[in-house]
Amino acid sequence: MKRWRFWIGVIISAVFLWWALRGLDLSKVWADIRAANYWWLIPSVAVYFLAVWARTWRWDYMLRPLKHVPLRRLFPVVVIGYMGNNIYPFRAGEVLRSYVLRQREDISMSASLATVIVERVFDGLVMLIFVFAALPLAPIPSESIRSVVVLASIAFFGALIVFFVVAAVPQRILVIADWLSGRFLPQRFRQPVMDFAARFMVGLESLRSFRYVFMIFLSSIVIWLLETVKYWFVMHAFDFQVSFFALMLMNGIVNLATTLPSAPGYIGTFDGPGIAVLTLYDIPVNVASAYTLVLHAALWLPVTALGAFYMLREGLGWSDFGRAVAVAGEKTG
Q: What is the per-residue pLDDT across 138-168, written as a single tens digit (0 to 9) for each?
A: 666 566 666 666 677 777 778 888 888 888 8
Residue 21 to residue 205: CA distance in whole angstroms: 45
User: What is residue 158's predicted lDDT score, i.e. its pLDDT?
Assistant: 84
Distance, in Å, from the CA atom of 299 to the CA atom of 124, rounded to the nearest integer, reads: 18
- Please give the residue range of the domain that contains residue 183: 3-330
Beta strand ranges found along the chain (DSSP E): none
- Reduce the DSSP state of residue 44 to 3 states and report it: helix
Q: Please give the pLDDT value at position 332.
A: 43
pLDDT at 3 over 90: no
Please name which of 274, 267, 295 lies closest in space to residue 14, comparing C-alpha atoms. Answer: 267
pLDDT for position 48 = 97
Q: Is the separation of the CB atoms in 161 and 255 below 8 Å?
A: no
Q: What is the mean pLDDT of residues 132-140?
A: 70
pLDDT at 207 over 60: yes
More confident position, 163 or 219: 219
DSSP single-letter state for residue 208: G
Residue 230 vs residue 121, higher pLDDT? 230
Segment 100-111 shows an average pLDDT of 88
Over residues 19-26, the mean pLDDT reads 85
pLDDT of residue 307: 93
Contact 76, 96 (CB under 8 A): no
Task: Work out the average pLDDT over 72-80.
Answer: 95
Residue 99, pLDDT > 70, answer yes
Asked if the model's pLDDT at residue 19 lies above 90, the reply is: no
- 263 confidence band (pLDDT: 50, 70, 90): confident
C-alpha span between 234 and 247 (Å, rounded): 11
For residues 45 and 39, give the distance between their C-alpha atoms in angstroms, rounded to a whole number.
Answer: 11
What is the band of 333 on the pLDDT scale with cuts at 50, 70, 90? very low
What integer best gives the mean pLDDT of the chain? 85
**In angstroms, rounded to a whole number, what is the distance separating the alpha carbons of residues 300 and 45?**
10
Checking if the pLDDT of 171 tops 60, the result is yes
| pLDDT value at residue 331 | 47
Which DSSP state fits 314? T
Least confident range of 2-6, 18-22, 27-31, 245-249: 2-6
Domain tally for the chain?
A: 1
The predicted structure's pLDDT at residue 230: 97
